[in-house]
Amino acid sequence: MAKFRQVHTTFWQDPRVLEEMTPEDKYFYLYLLTNPNTTQIGVYQITKKQMAFDLGYSTESINSLLERFINMHGVVKYNEVTREIAIINWGKYNLHKAGKPVIDCVKKELEAVKDRTLLWEVMNNIPNQSVIDEFSRYVYDTSTTRGQEEEKEQEEELEEEQEQQEENVYHFYQENFGVLNPYISQSLTMWVDDVGIDLVIESMKRALANQKRFNYAEGILKRWQNENIKTLAEVEALDKQFANKGSGKPNGQPKEPTPYDTVF
């Protein structure tokens, strides 16, 4: 079933859009209203990395745009922990009609919202009373199970651990390769997300041992990724596998290539 999102023509007549938003702001706002993650209720989960990938921006640019939209334009709210965003005026244009199919969809999507305070922001701009009633069930339900509290605590701990890992990788790079620019920073973050901090640092150690630059480390990481290597133990096993292949060659025959011979 196709999914459509409405953008009312008055969007272009709104004084806030006309007078306060830059062309980049308007582009970003339209993206927030129409991207594939959007829901019927105007609250949905999306990461900053996903926004950056979809729009071709850096994460720093996304951070700047979100800050403007939250603090200057006042049209969205964003939860850094749950990665949920609320489009405050969503209901004004998308929830003015509410038949049974819409109500059923609203109920299902309300269940999935982790930060229910975001629902309050959207509910204040909904013109349809039946939809407001559904929102109210969740906005005013303050009961939270211990399991939900533990889940939130775990998410916060994982967030802190991720930030610490990234800081450790950044520090290692700066100590051994030089100044950290935004491109390298984003690349390191991506690799930590994909393969973990241990493999990223190990790849840089191997690049240093061979007196190579960081792109050599990235070549190693790509090879490990292609081999579905996830741990240092698996790296050692891969090294031994290739070492054993080469050890049985008669004298005069060329050595079996290592898994890193093709790394640039």
134 and 25 in a single domain? The answer is: yes
Nearest-CA neighbor of 47 among 180, 221, 193, 218?
A: 193
- The strand order across the sheet containing 84-87 reads 43-45, 84-87, 76-79
Instruction: Give one DSSP letter per residue of 42-76, joined into a string.
Output: SEEE--HHHHHHHHT--HHHHHHHHHIIIIIS--E
- pLDDT reported for residue 1: 38
Number of H helices, E strands in the chain: 13, 3
**In this predicted model, what pLDDT tens digit does every residue of 190-210 receive, in sequence order?**
898 888 889 999 999 999 999
Q: Which residues of the chain have pLDDT under 50?
A: 1-2, 143-147, 250, 252-257, 262, 264
138 and 187 in a single domain? The answer is: no
Q: Which residues of 115-129 are buried (b: 16+ CB within 10 A; e: fewer)?
A: bbebbebbbeebebe
Please check whether residue 224 lies inside any domain of the structure.
Answer: yes
187 and 136 in a single domain? The answer is: no
Please check whether residue 257 lies inside any domain of the structure.
Answer: no
109 and 187 in a single domain? The answer is: no
74 and 131 in a single domain? The answer is: yes
Residue 13 DSSP label: G
Phi/psi for 152 (5° steps) reads -65, -40
128 and 241 in a single domain? The answer is: no
Domain that holds residue 15: 9-143
Q: Positive or negative, the Cα torsion across 176, 182, 184, 186?
A: positive
What's the mean pLDDT when you consider all of the chain? 84
Residue 113 DSSP label: -
- pLDDT reported for residue 256: 42
* Block residue for tokens 């701990």: 157
**In this predicted model, what pLDDT tens digit does every residue of 133-152 receive, in sequence order?**
888 888 776 544 444 556 66
Q: Which of 124, 143, 162 is the last residue of a domain?
A: 143
Please check whether residue 121 lies inside any domain of the structure.
Answer: yes
**In 10 A of CB 24, how many CB atoms?**
14
Please check whether residue 195 lies inside any domain of the structure.
Answer: yes
CATH number at residue 192: 1.10.10
* Block residue for tokens 């959207």: 122
**Count of domains in the chain?**
2
103 and 220 in a single domain? The answer is: no
Phi/psi for 85 (5° steps) reads -120, 145
**Residue 42, burial from CB neighbour count under 10 angstroms (0-12, 13-18, 19+):** buried
- pLDDT reported for residue 156: 72
185 and 139 in a single domain? The answer is: no
Please check whether residue 2 lies inside any domain of the structure.
Answer: no
130 and 237 in a single domain? The answer is: no
24 and 84 in a single domain? The answer is: yes
Please check whether residue 152 lies inside any domain of the structure.
Answer: no
